[in-house]
Amino acid sequence: MSNQDNANLTALGGASPVPEHPDPDVLERVPNPQSATDYLVRFTIPEFTSICPVTGQPDFAHLVLDYVPDEWIVESKSLKLYLFGYRNHGAFHEDCTVRIGRDIDALLKTRWLRIGGYWYPRGGIPIDVFWQTGAPPDTLWVPDQGVAGYRGRG
């Protein structure tokens, strides 16, 4: 990747303020150096936080984002900053999970993307939310996301 390819990156290599809200414009992409190959990229976000839009209480999730890039890959610091924007954002589990998947797919125009949101229980009910863009490529190995279903004390 040349320096020209990095010319539009704003988060990498310096101090970056934490966004006040989830803004997809914070997300940045770089050219995929292996664009002729189908391969899986996985981001595991074990400490995702948002706010319940009704009670104002914090919600916590373990997110797993898998995608097959085409021409672009997400720049990881920009992804962290985008996800930080949810910390004070009021939204239901379903909205957070699907919105993150859609925002990243819109930026990258992936060959395939899926996101699993494994939300910790509050009020006694865990909520798991899953979204994907379609079927993965036939030749791709797609491992299990590795997050066990909630068992509580049982």
Residues 137, 40 contacting (CB under 8 angstroms): no
Q: Which residues does the annotation mark as catalytic?
A: 52, 59
**Over the Cα atoms of the chain, what is R_g?**
16
Which DSSP symbol is given to 73? Answer: E
- Measured in whole angstroms, the distance separating CA 30 from the mean position of its chain's CA atoms is 16
Question: What is the layout of strands, in order, in the sheet containing 125-132?
Answer: 41-51, 58-68, 112-122, 125-132
